[in-house]
Amino acid sequence: MVYSNRDNNAFYAQSGGVTPVINASAAGVIMAARQKGIKVYAGADGIIGALHEQLIDTTKMSEQEVAALRYTPAGAFGSCRFKLTDMQKQAKEYRRLIEVFKAHKIRYFLYNGGGDSQDTAHKVSQIAQEMAYPLVCVGIPKTIDNDLYATDFSPGFPSVAKYVAISSMEATLDLASMCSSSTKVFILEVMGRHTGWIAAAAGLTPVGFGAQIILFPEVAFNQEHFLARVKECVKNYGYCSIVVSEGVRDTSGQFLSASGNKDAFGHQQLGGVAPYIARLIQEKLKLKHHWAVSDYLQRSARHIASKVDVEQAYALGKFALKVALKGINGKMVTLERSKKNNKIIWETGLAELAQVANQEKHLPADYIAANGFEITEKAKKYLLPLIQGEAYPPYHQGLPAYFRLNAKFLKKKCTDFV
């Protein structure tokens, strides 16, 4: 590799909860940068790495390592839950970023995250202007929750959707085969604190193969309706398979997972809307049940990632680098759905960072069936193309050949940040 462009380096960081394909975006950025002779420095543990000048020199990564990013889940460079929002209160942090970027000749700021992170990218771009430092800021979308505006989908979501649909399908087959003499109800808890996109994916299974009840955060939980529906399913099919979003709330707006879940010492029980629903079914219907909480499994399941997801995450990374090199500042790269030869494809596009920052895209009302427990044909039409194709990772000795980076750091040039 020849890095001809020595005075214009790029900074890349991963932000917020990780996904099965965020590393594919990283691979896209690095691959595109190498083609242009641009060095990419990655923030160790996200933006924290920039503040503390912990910069990973990706030029030291072999081609194989960069290729391995494409099939390795989670954040290879480390991610963080650290918010940079208020430009006044956090002026010190914003200024420090520019100090570090200046020291390492970083001219491109590529930030891979959700709504909060797009807000940060926007503000970094503003502070650079204020400080008259030439910096091009580009956001790359990522969130399993699929709650980002302006892009057809957020990379990460399709793979989680695929995992949830398959898991619900498999567990429902299990339930169906045991229900005559054993378990009658199965409950799978999935993520989505504020939006029901992930839960909705359970509606993609063919009739008779998946959950009969989906509980969305967008629909206030009505215990009576719910229990009636469970009884009806058990009566008609012999079993009832349920997918519940962690974000479901009761009619007073309180999370179900928080209501009444106190232990013997009066402490709030730790999370878990699935055990809450299970207890309800036990107490009110006396039906044998099982429950699962997929938690991190769902968002790290690279072994069953959607091919569409991996390819588009990679494409967005490549496109973000190109956009940055063109000097297009203050944008988030997006995906636009279109059709080619009667096949759905995605093209890359751009949105204003200011526009996508700090917004949440909820499941549209017409994606949820009138009974509140299913998705509509319109929802299926949107969701189904996203889970197409299986992008299997390579295997070594029966396990995925995932990789962990042995990070090589840049020599520090600034004083410590305190």
- Are the CB atoms for 138 and 320 separated by under 8 Å? yes
The only residue of 143, 159, 212, 261 in contact with its own copies, by rule CB under 8 A:
261
Q: In what order do the strands lie in the sheet with 40-43?
A: 55-57, 40-43, 9-14, 106-113, 136-141, 331-340, 343-352
User: Any long-range contacts for 390-398 (C-beta under 8 Å, 24+ apart)?
Assistant: 390/304, 390/305, 390/306, 390/307, 391/71, 391/305, 391/306, 391/307, 391/309, 391/310, 391/311, 392/303, 393/71, 393/72, 393/302, 393/303, 393/305, 394/71
The only residue of 4, 132, 235, 263 in contact with its own copies, by rule CB under 8 A:
263
Least gap, CB of 237 to its own copies (angstroms): 12
Q: Of residues 292-321, which lie at the interface with its own copies (CB under 8 A)?
A: 292-297, 299-304, 306
Say how many Å lie between the first and final Cα of the chain, rounded.
Answer: 36
The only residue of 10, 11, 13, 18 in contact with its own copies, by rule CB under 8 A:
18
Of 301 and 310, which CB lies nearer to its own copies in the complex structure?
Answer: 301
Of 339 and 404, which CB lies nearer to its own copies in the complex structure?
Answer: 404
Stretch in the footprint of its own copies (CB under 8 A) among 14-22, 34-42, 349-357, 407-415: 14-22
Angle (nearest 5°) at CA 14 between 8 and 15: 125
Of 88 and 265, which CB lies nearer to its own copies in the complex structure?
Answer: 265
* DSSP E strand boundaries for 119-160: 136-141
Dihedral of the alpha carbons of 13, 15, 17, 19, in degrees to the nearest 10: -40
The only residue of 13, 21, 38, 48 in contact with its own copies, by rule CB under 8 A:
48
Taking every pair of Cα atoms in the chain, the longest distance, rounded to a whole number of angstroms, is 72
Of 37 and 260, which CB lies nearer to its own copies in the complex structure?
Answer: 260
Q: Of residues 223-242, which lie at the interface with its own copies (CB under 8 A)?
A: none
Least gap, CB of 63 to its own copies (angstroms): 21
Note if 309 is an active site residue: no
The only residue of 156, 196, 272, 330 in contact with its own copies, by rule CB under 8 A:
272
Could you identify the residue written with the tokens 């390492």? 104
Of 264 and 370, which CB lies nearer to its own copies in the complex structure?
Answer: 264
Q: Of residues 64-83, which lie at the interface with its own copies (CB under 8 A)?
A: 72-82
Stretch in the footprint of its own copies (CB under 8 A) among 112-120, 125-133, 202-210, 315-323: 202-210
